[in-house]
Structure 1
Amino acid sequence: MINIILALGLVNHVVTALPSIVSERAPAAKQMGYISVSVATLWTTPSKPRPLVDAPALTNPADIDGWLSSMNVSQFLDLTDNSRTQTQALYGAQVGIISEQDGWYEVEAIGQPTPKDAIGYPGWVPTAQVSLDSSYGKLQSTKPFAAINNVATAPLYRDALMRDKYLEISYDTRLPVIAHIGGLIQVAVPGGGSAYLSAKHATVYGSVSKIPYPTGKDLVKAGKLFLGRPYLWGGASGFAFDCSGLTHTLYDAHGITIGRDADAQAGFTGHGTNVAQSDLQAGDLMYYATNISSSSSIYHVTMYIGNDEMIEAYNAGTPIRITPVRFGDNYWGAQRFLTH
């Protein structure tokens, strides 16, 4: 095992690298960029977005709510069946730019480790959704940050009177703090300038290490913020999640980095501790596989919340829900990532 210490802005301090299953490594990033829309979707290739259906997700600003509300179940399923989307990156998040092609950047989403790349999840985003503002990056690395951590999404305003809404941003979005003004937090934004958040929606931390270590109950409380939100293949925001996007984000918001995909989460050897059915505790992750002898065949992850129930982003057409635990033939096992 190798511990990789990240010094790339507002990313959790220590990431436990994936073991020998890492067989693909994306080319090294040539430049850092910063997401300049509420949520940027990382696509498998530039040709994967559907010309009409996915247009709202490709612009700046991106209309994520409009995109999600316009799709029917078959269109949501098509994202899965044709492997169109990979993951998402939040407003202000750092991405490593690997290459550029016809209005698209090939990027890696820093802080979302995967067997494809232990540093960040690879994919393609429109260049219009990425800022190259290096001054913002300096603020990321030197200023305290405001983290959206008690609502699924929150409004960001251009003005201190909160009359001019700029964007709706997601849970776990982190922005450098410029000042506190009454019940407002003035934050820096990618591309220059500033915007304002209600202090009711965010907590300010001096560094990621200052985020309080969570209890299982903390994770459960956070997970319930997203009940009823849509399932989205590759979803990793408060607007919509896939199964592992939900679990990854819940832990990330509490200062703990785990793998982005379900199999990668279970594959963090030395990081998670195997847990027996009889010993499940709130916050434990439960995995399901086509072959229970192999973590590489894991296809689904849920989070145990207590009382023989779990929270999950199950599939297209099924909103995020709480459901009784399942211990069928495809149950691979559970792991605990909380150490105290």
Structure 2
Amino acid sequence: MTETLDRRLHAYRPDLADIRLREKVSAGRYTQGMAAEVAVPLAKLHPKPDPDCAIDTEALFGETLQVFDRRDGWAWVQLDADGYVGYLREEALGDRSSEATHLVCVPRTFVYSGADLRFPVVHALSMASRVRVTGMTETRGTIYALMGDGPAMIAEHLRPLAEAASHDAVAVAAMFLQTPYLWGGRSGFGIDCSGLVQMALAMTGKPAPRDSDQQASGLGQAIDPVQHGLRRGDLVFWKGHVGFLEDPHTLLHASGGTMSVTREPLKAAIERIAKLYGHPTGYRRP
């Protein structure tokens, strides 16, 4: 009975599967996911419960998910935002106790122990992390967002979830220039090519798949660069890589060549990448 389903987007193993897949896959038993959220600044999502295997992606603070299994310090989960399935350390999880009110809208920011930039830093959060703000206060002319009793953040680094999103994904992506490249990275501390595309689009209110092959097959519409022309915001795909166009001649991407988010002339990028991975496989307009 088992269909061939993408394991990145469907929670199933021989012994256990998401109850929603009962009619599609065979498993020892089926279970309904339990709601939880990420309680650490970044949680690495692995394809198997092994800290030595490469990560597939990352989950951000406050991100919600479904938990299907907990065993030996690992949790088998599916992220609510993009449906990605994998394993993260169990200590990264917290109960979904209260709804977030704000979103981090800068690449990186700090959580202080109190409403003062001189106070100790509790931890740092990436863009798109979700927090619950309970009030505002001012210290020496700076407005701080309070998160319960104690922790505080710079209010200008947050955006209410109900507030209209940015309309320019490329401008969001450009905020990450010089951010280190990280395979599987999806944050302001390290990001990969498809993570940059997903992050930038998410901050404009447009959901996107996580991986470049998923984006190449179903994100927006395919375009012909000759027939339709190229413009700001279009995506250029190679096998295993993707980048934004800042304009018809400039590529903005998380590059394994420079190991950072960078911009370079599109023509030069095509020539450079062709030596290793061939020419572009497609162009899409989100």
- For the aligned pair, the TM-score class normalised by the smaller chain equals 0.7 to 0.9
Question: Is 2:63 aligned against 1:101?
Answer: no
Question: Is 2:147 aligned against 1:187?
Answer: yes
Unmatched tracts of structure 2, length 5 or more? 12-16, 19-31
Root-mean-square deviation (Å): 2.3
Alpha-carbon offset, residue 304 of structure 1: 0.7
Aligned to 2:230: 280
Aligned to 2:186: 236
2:56 to 74, 86, 89: 86
Q: For 1:93 and 1:247, how far apart are their aligned partners in 2?
A: 18
1:310 to 238, 251, 256: 251
Alpha-carbon offset, residue 38 of structure 1: 0.9
**Residues 102/196 of structure 1: CA separation in 2 closer, same or farther (3 Å cut):** same
Unmatched tracts of structure 1, length 5 or more? 1-19, 51-82, 113-119, 290-298
More relative contact order, 1 or 2 (CA 8 Å, 6+ apart): 1
Alpha-carbon offset, residue 317 of structure 1: 6.0
Alpha-carbon offset, residue 148 of structure 1: 1.6
**Residues 260/161 of structure 1: CA separation in 2 closer, same or farther (3 Å cut):** same
Of structures 1 and 2, the larger Rg is shown by 2
Deviation digits for residues 45-82 of structure 1 (CA, Å, limit 9, x no counterpart): 122x23xxxxxxxxxxxxxxxxxxxxxxxxxxxxxxxx
Deviation digits for residues 159-186 of structure 1 (CA, Å, limit 9, x no counterpart): 1234132111001112123222241122
Question: Is 2:113 aligned against 1:158?
Answer: yes
Deviation digits for residues 116-159 of structure 1 (CA, Å, limit 9, x no counterpart): xxxx1111111111112x323xx23xxxx22221x320001231
SS of 1:223 mapped into structure 2:
helix
**C-alpha contact 2:37 2:65 (8 A) present in aligned 1:** yes
SS of 2:84 mapped into structure 1:
strand
> Given the two structures, how large is their TM-score scaled by the length of structure 1?
0.67
Aligned to 1:128: 91
Aligned to 2:33: 30
SS of 1:334 mapped into structure 2:
strand
SS of 1:233 mapped into structure 2:
coil
> Given the two structures, how large is their TM-score scaled by the length of structure 2?
0.79
SS of 1:135 mapped into structure 2:
coil
Question: Is 2:178 aligned against 1:246?
Answer: no
Aligned to 1:260: 210
Aligned to 2:14: none
Partner amino acid for 1:129? Answer: A
Alpha-carbon offset, residue 273 of structure 1: 1.8
The structure whose residues are more often helix, as a share, is 1
**What is the aligned length?**
249
Alpha-carbon offset, residue 330 of structure 1: 2.6
Q: For 1:204 and 1:31, how far apart are their aligned partners in 2?
A: 27
